[in-house]
Structure 1
């Protein structure tokens, strides 16, 4: 009798929350999506929700309504961020290294993952994480650093005054490397980005040049006033063959509406199948004795 088929593993997805959220809060907001994904894939789906390392105080919370009173208390809240913005123009990201280290820890202890899903700041981070795990990205950071030293194109356009800033954007994050210097996780098979955006400062150029080759889908809310469409499209523009899905809502992740959940599931299936197809093509090219 032929041996029984090997048991299939559930789809593993890294879930990155937005600014002012946490892993548990993001999970509570996406429970419907989690259930849909578990039903959509024969082996099920397992979603992992890390919490960002930077705990925020009321002073860190943006006041979207200008008529609202400014926060008075400075006590930390149950709100977290992957980084905070420094007062530069374009902005740089304070604490990004710690945010990436938290993700790297999750990749090493909870992985391997098939893909990553991120919302808002987590969407921006999902694009950066997908980039970091791609083949050749450490070398791209090396080329970037050399370009900075030589005053090359990274600093064109009158931005030379930022060359002497001391922050950790010009080298590949050490947290993403193993002890032997290899990248800690295989490339992601897909990245789903909701209301994401691109880091605008040229210091982060190595994340986006060469373009992000990981299959990406970008969900944009037509009435999103927190991350306006132009910011999201800047991230779309640095991805290879990105897919755009527009929904009629604002700044949120549509976790229960069938049309938008269906678009995500279709994208995931296509991304996973394309990986299988490439593998099968390589096998078919082999000279087999039958």
Structure 2
């Protein structure tokens, strides 16, 4: 019998980052998941000019952000269609906020987003009144939420608040700050969550 393929996750970067920068940030995670899951990062559709607001993620040079919700959702839908199939999403910071909105749409049956789970790192719920409908009902899509206890960019309570928007979220807390952790304890949690979606495991 042929070996089952690794899971594929579409990865969404944070504010003023890029796909290249996210690949750098996830080097340890990709190594930990080798043979089990593959991360495919895409660029946000909104380049930011040099000299824009200070970068909260400490990234240089700036690339872009997920501003303009409909255009951002269309970019995610296009990537899922053009580079798929994908099993899930991985979002970091602002990318996790967008991924959570995609989860909400998927849970409502939106055919543009054929994913079955998401890993949300340092995410937060949008405060924009126009986005309130995404969180009005519990989001019935499996999620793993990564929360940094000393995150000075997205405070831990904000990430926990986002987790509470989901049905039965899995929450992993780590002692670090605003980054994607991949030490032994986190690797174990990632694998335990992802193994639910490997072929033959079922939901």
TM-score, shorter chain, exceeding 0.5: yes
Deviations 1:73-117 (Å, cap 9, x if unpaired)? Answer: xxxx5421111xxxxxxxxxxx12221121111011011211111
List 4+ stretches of structure 1 deviating above 3 A: 273-278
The CA RMSD over aligned residues, in Å, is: 2.3
C-alpha separation in 2, matches of 1:197 and 1:61: 20
Do residues 24 (structure 1) and 31 (structure 2) align? no
Judged with a 3 Å threshold, the aligned counterparts in structure 2 of structure 1 residues 193 and 28 are, in CA distance, closer, same or farther, namely same
Larger Rg: 1
1:54 corresponds to which of 46, 52, 55: 46
Do residues 262 (structure 1) and 194 (structure 2) align? no
Deviations 1:213-258 (Å, cap 9, x if unpaired)? Answer: 1111111111111111222122112111111111111111113x11
Judged with a 3 Å threshold, the aligned counterparts in structure 2 of structure 1 residues 275 and 117 are, in CA distance, closer, same or farther, namely farther
Question: 1:19–1:121: 8 Å Cα contact kept in structure 2?
Answer: yes
| Within-5 A mapping of 1:113-262 | 113-136=86-109, 183-186=111-114, 188-255=115-182, 257-262=183-188
Question: 1:20–1:61: 8 Å Cα contact kept in structure 2?
Answer: no
User: Which 5+ residue runs of structure 2 have no aligned equivalent?
Assistant: none
Judged with a 3 Å threshold, the aligned counterparts in structure 2 of structure 1 residues 113 and 62 are, in CA distance, closer, same or farther, namely same
1:38 corresponds to which of 19, 34, 40: 34
Question: 1:189–1:275: 8 Å Cα contact kept in structure 2?
Answer: no
Deviations 1:120-145 (Å, cap 9, x if unpaired)? Answer: 00111111112222244x6xxxxxxx
Question: 1:112–1:185: 8 Å Cα contact kept in structure 2?
Answer: no
User: Which 5+ residue runs of structure 1 have no aligned equivalent?
Assistant: 65-76, 84-94, 139-182, 279-290
Q: 3-state SS of the aligned residue for 2:147?
A: strand
C-alpha separation in 2, matches of 1:209 and 1:127: 13
Greater length-normalized contact order (CA 8 Å, ≥ 6 residues apart): 2
Question: 2:10–2:90: 8 Å Cα contact kept in structure 1?
Answer: yes
Corresponding pairs, count: 200
C-alpha separation in 2, matches of 1:204 and 1:58: 28
- TM-score, length basis structure 2: 0.88
- TM-score, length basis structure 1: 0.63
